[in-house]
């Protein structure tokens, strides 16, 4: 495994650990912004650089056609989307794919603070 891949694996492991720590303490039922605030604090406590509500341009043929807001970019390499719904639609990971297409980031995590905690990983294709 290449050094960059190993670092990305360690990062995702740390982020998933932070997610479960927040979920185990808060449980299910809060609004998304509560989980986002707690997760940001947990990631910072673990020594990560955290960009919150990062705006990225969507470019079509060298023309900016719109903007998207990413919940988090961690350590400048991993995008995180947070959901706190009862259930996740099967197409929910599409949002992460779009974020990866709009940026140079290679991987993303969808963290679902639902009745059962779930993590979905998406890699750039």
User: Cα(120)–Cα(112) distance, rounded to whole angstroms?
Assistant: 8
What pLDDT is recorded for position 124? 81
pTM for this prediction: 0.90
Say what percent of the chain tops pLDDT 90.
77
What pLDDT is recorded for position 20? 98
Encode pLDDT of 77-121 as tens digits: 999 999 999 999 888 888 899 899 888 888 999 999 999 999 999
Structural domain boundaries of the chain? 3-123
What pLDDT is recorded for position 56? 92
Q: Which fold has domain 3-123?
A: Lambda Exonuclease; Chain A (3.90.320)
């Amino acid at each position: 495994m290449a050094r960059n891949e190993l670092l990305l694996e360690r990062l995702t492991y740390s982020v998933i650990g932070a997610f479960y720590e927040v979920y185990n303490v808060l449980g299910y039922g809060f609004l998304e912004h509560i989980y986002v605030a707690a997760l940001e604090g947990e990631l910072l406590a673990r020594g990560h650089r955290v960009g919150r509500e990062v705006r990225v341009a969507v470019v079509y043929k060298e023309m900016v056609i719109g903007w998207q807001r990413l919940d988090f970019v961690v350590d400048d390499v991993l995008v995180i989307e947070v959901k706190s719904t009862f259930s996740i639609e099967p197409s929910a990971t599409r949002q992460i794919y779009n974020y990866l297409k709009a940026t140079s980031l290679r991987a993303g995590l969808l963290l679902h603070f639902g009745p059962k905690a779930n993590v979905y990983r998406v890699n750039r294709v």
